[in-house]
Amino acid sequence: MEPKEYRQRVKRLEPPRPIARNALWAFVVGGIICLIGQVVQSVLMAAGYNQETVKAPTSIIMVLLGALATAFGIYDRIAKFGGMGANLPITGFSNAVVAPAMEFKQEGPIMGTGARIFQIAGPVIAYGVLTAFVVGLLRFAIMGGKP
């Protein structure tokens, strides 16, 4: 069989991706996680944090919730149907750090947990920092460091 013909046959036999259903679940799961984030933020602000100081503790609590759900094996199940709804929020970032840290424990605390902990978070942080650097450099050049 010609490679081209083969690819066409594979494409025909491939089950169609449930695009609408995936999108709906991503919306629902992502929405609920952001709603929880809003609740956490409101509770903290009622406890005396202001618009600026509330950001860090909100992140910490959301990361904690993501880490707990990961440790108890719940987050993987949510991510299975939630897809990007589970991966895109900060709880998914937490999951991306905690899950490999747990999974690669057998390879030792240094090259297992220590090295793999950044498997997914590493690229996100690296390119995020690079982009922020370039954006900041351009703003610095154009606006001279004014906020």
- How many whole angstroms separate alpha carbon 142 and alpha carbon 120? 34
Q: Report angle CA 115, 110, 133 to the nearest 5 degrees.
A: 35
Subset of residues 6 to 45 that bind other proteins, contact rule: CB under 8 A: 17, 19, 22-35, 37-42
Q: How far apart are CA 79 and CA 34, in angstroms?
A: 15
Binding mask 39-78 for other proteins (x = CB under 8 A): xxxx------------xxxxxx-xxx-xx--xx-x-----
Residues 104-143 that bind other proteins (CB under 8 A): 105-106, 109, 113, 117, 120-121, 123-125, 127-129, 131-133, 135-140
Look-up of token digits 């993987």: 76
Per rule CB under 8 A, count of chain residues that contact other proteins: 79
- Establish if 92 lies at the interface with other proteins (CB under 8 A): yes
Closer Cβ to other proteins, 7 or 132, answer by number: 132
- Backbone dihedral region of 125: left (phi > 0), alpha (psi from -120 to 50 degrees) or beta? alpha
